[in-house]
């Protein structure tokens, strides 16, 4: 299998910046992110709960004693969301502000006083996205399914595509440009689990990762993953895993659900998946239907 690049643009980031920094942060984000500039950390928390942003940029110049408690709460409630401090100038209060950031739990600081620093900001954001469970899943599957066709790999990329993948088999099929009946039939004839199970487990993996942020409620996560309601999400979890939404939250983190996905839907079927063409008929696909090795 050819190597695949699992990275894609980050999307939106929320910022709390000095006004003089905003235009330069916007310019640095071209192709990687776009910035939503906020005045307060409360506004940033609202963005995080609505799944509008994937990272937070905080200016050292905005991190005085009054903001410390708000920033610390943000980092504590959303530990899976990257928080990056931006240093654009040195002032008398800067050393204390940097100490405050560390006390609040911010671990990444990017110095943009020199031009190269803006490239560093892009790199840090691109490499520390909050949708890392999708990248981790694709990385592990690339090892589990060495030799898989590009045709089959497109299926796995589609169910994990940021920010939440596809929500239904119908939307998945639109993405892959294949009829739902055709896709379902090919999985059935190859004696593989139904496409809806792969999709459902991928969504629960994203949900489990989101629940690692204590600041997100079940309703926040359900809405962010396009379930019609928290009750719908709860029924979905109960049907698939026999657990309530609260039990699911307590039992699984993102990597735990990834392991269950691999153990139930990938590893037992690895040989078949390596020779599987779900989107087009190929020579290997015809062999699978005839039961050939």
pLDDT at position 110? 94
Run of H or E including 56: strand 56-59
pLDDT at position 7? 42
Domain of residue 212, residue span: 132-289
Q: Rounded to whole angstroms, how far apart are CA atoms 51 and 225?
A: 9
**157/96 same-domain check:** no
pLDDT at position 162? 57
- 229: exposed, middle or buried (C-beta count within 10 Å: 0-12, 13-18, 19+)? exposed
pLDDT at position 285? 39
pLDDT at position 111? 95
Positions of the chain with pLDDT lower than 70, given as ranges: 1-10, 127-131, 162-165, 281-293
* The last residue of a domain, from among 80, 101, 127: 127
**88/102 same-domain check:** yes
* The last residue of a domain, from among 102, 127, 152: 127
Express each pLDDT in 185-211 by its tens digit.
Answer: 999 999 999 999 999 999 999 999 999
Identify whether 98 is part of a domain.
yes
Identify whether 262 is part of a domain.
yes
* The last residue of a domain, from among 111, 127, 143: 127
Contact 292, 190 (CB under 8 A): no
- We report the CATH number of the domain holding residue 24 as 3.40.50.2300
Q: How many domains does the chain have?
A: 2
pLDDT at position 63? 83
| This prediction's pTM | 0.73
Contact 61, 97 (CB under 8 A): yes
Sheet arrangement for strand 83-87: 33-37, 11-16, 56-59, 83-87, 108-111
Largest Cα–Cα distance of the chain, in whole Å? 76
Neighbours of 97 (CB within 10 A): 21
Q: Rounded to whole angstroms, how far apart are CA atoms 200 and 21?
A: 42
pLDDT at position 130? 52
């Amino acid at each position: 299998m050819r190597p695949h690049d699992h990275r894609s643009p980050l999307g939106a980031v929320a910022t709390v910046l000095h006004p003089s920094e905003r235009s330069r942060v916007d310019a640095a984000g071209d192709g990687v992110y776009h910035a939503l500039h906020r005045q307060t950390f409360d506004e940033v928390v609202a963005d995080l709960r609505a799944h509008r942003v994937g990272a937070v940029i905080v200016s050292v110049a905005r991190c005085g004693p009054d903001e410390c408690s708000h920033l610390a709460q943000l980092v504590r409630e959303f530990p899976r969301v990257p928080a990056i401090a931006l240093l654009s100038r040195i002032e008398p209060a800067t050393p204390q502000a940097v100490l405050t950031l560390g006390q609040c739990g911010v671990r990444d600081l990017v110095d943009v006083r020199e031009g190269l620093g803006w490239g560093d900001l892009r790199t840090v954001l691109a490499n520390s996205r909050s949708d890392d469970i999708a990248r981790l899943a694709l990385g592990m599957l690339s090892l589990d399914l060495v030799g898989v066709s590009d045709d089959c790999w497109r299926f796995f990329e589609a169910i994990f595509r940021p920010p939440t993948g596809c929500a239904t088999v119908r939307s998945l099929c639109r993405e892959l440009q294949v009829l739902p009946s055709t896709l379902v039939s090919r999985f059935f004839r190859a004696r593989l689990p139904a496409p809806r199970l792969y999709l459902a487990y991928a969504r629960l993996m994203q949900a489990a990762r989101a629940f690692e942020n204590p600041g997100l409620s079940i309703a926040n996560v359900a809405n962010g993953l396009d379930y019609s309601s928290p009750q719908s999400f709860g029924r979905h979890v109960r049907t698939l895993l026999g657990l309530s939404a609260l039990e699911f939250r307590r039992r699984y983190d993102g990597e735990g659900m990834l392991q269950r996905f691999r153990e139930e839907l990938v590893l037992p079927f690895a040989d078949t998946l390596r020779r599987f063409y779900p989107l087009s008929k190929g020579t290997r696909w015809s062999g699978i239907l005839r039961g050939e090795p």
